[in-house]
Amino acid sequence: MRIEETDLADVIVLVPQPHRDDRGLFTRTFDASIFDEHLGRPGAAASFVQDSQSRSIRGVVRGMHGRSGHGEAKLVRCAHGAVHDVLVDIRPASPTFGTKRAFVLDDDEFRHLYVPPGFLHGFQALTPTADVCYRIDRPHDPEADLAVAYDDADLAIEWPLPVTIVSARDANAGSWRELLTLLR
């Protein structure tokens, strides 16, 4: 597994190195020692306490979600299919505050995103079915939920496909301007 830096402060991409042959492939999707060494925090990988998985159909958008307070760090990967994954830095003191960045996560390259606390996160399914796996470092606390509408004009996220389905929660999420007021 190798690690790539991104242009978002503290966000990294973990890139497994699959071995492919006539049978198919084998890959190690995560290596705690490489992850911990890169972060310079022994035991960082062990801090993940919950694993979750979502399944979405082509065109579905989930997001843009975040957490207030201490936030949550997560590792995100697409185990089946492909997604257009979007992050927005909502850490007021960050040099990349307000910056958004998109990544393609799929079941061919097996790339993972390490998302530190303080980001909005969302994705759109690009394939008929997409399974996204999340490894999270804190138990989910609904009281800490933050959300910005996936189609907020100020964020201007460019989804690659027409949006087919969003949850009622995501359809009624707040605006980027409201979140900025909350963060101040």
Looking at the annotation, which residues are catalytic?
Answer: 65, 134
Percent helix, strand and coil across the chain, each rounded to 5?
15, 40, 45
Q: What are phi and psi of 169, to 5 degrees?
A: -60, -45
What CA–CA distance (Å, rounded) separates 69 from 143?
10
d(C-alpha 87, C-alpha 148), whole Å = 12
